[in-house]
Structure formats: structure tokens, C-alpha cells
Amino acid sequence: MNQKELFAEHLRSAMEQKQMKQVDLVHAADQAGLKVGKSHISQYVSGKTLPRADIAHFLADTLRRNGFLVMLLRKISLNLRSIVLL
């Protein structure tokens, strides 16, 4: 399982536990002053992309998955470093 799929699995699980739909996350992001469209959330849920660090923080805070956030941010940070080094 790659990082995107792992993230998607945890995101879907957290959303299910909190009984939240994708549109609920979009509205919560808007209230938090973040620009996150339904297509972004859909891509995270389907495992097509990983969120930026600020969006990952928002998702973790909103879904109360802080342990998951630490793991995810480490992986995103490693990915960003490897992209910068290219």
C-alpha cells in the first residue's frame, strides 16, 4: 500500500467515525479560512493525491487524528524534500 492509499484509508475511516461527509470537510475548511474544494477532498479520499501540510493539519484537527497527522507530515515532508532536491 502506498502513502496515498494509506492516507485515503485513514481519512475514510476518520470521516466515518466522525460521521462526516466530504462536503462537511469543505465547509469546515471554509470556516477555518482554508481554500479546499470538494475535488481536493475527493482526491484525498480516493488516494489520488496527498494534501499540503496545512491541509493535513486541518484534517487531523477536524477529525481528531493527531497521531496519524505526525506520521503523515513526516511522509509529506520527506516527499517535499526529495522534490526540492531534484
pLDDT tens digits, 52-77: 888 988 888 888 876 666 666 666 65
Side-chain half-sphere CA neighbours of 19 within 13 A? 0
**What is the 8-class DSSP label of residue 48?**
S
| Residues 6+ positions from 25 with CB-CB distance below 8 Å | 15, 36, 41, 59, 62
Q: What is the amino acid identity at position 79?
A: N
pTM: predicted TM-score of the whole model, two decimal places: 0.77
User: Is 80 exceeded by the pLDDT of residue 39?
Assistant: yes
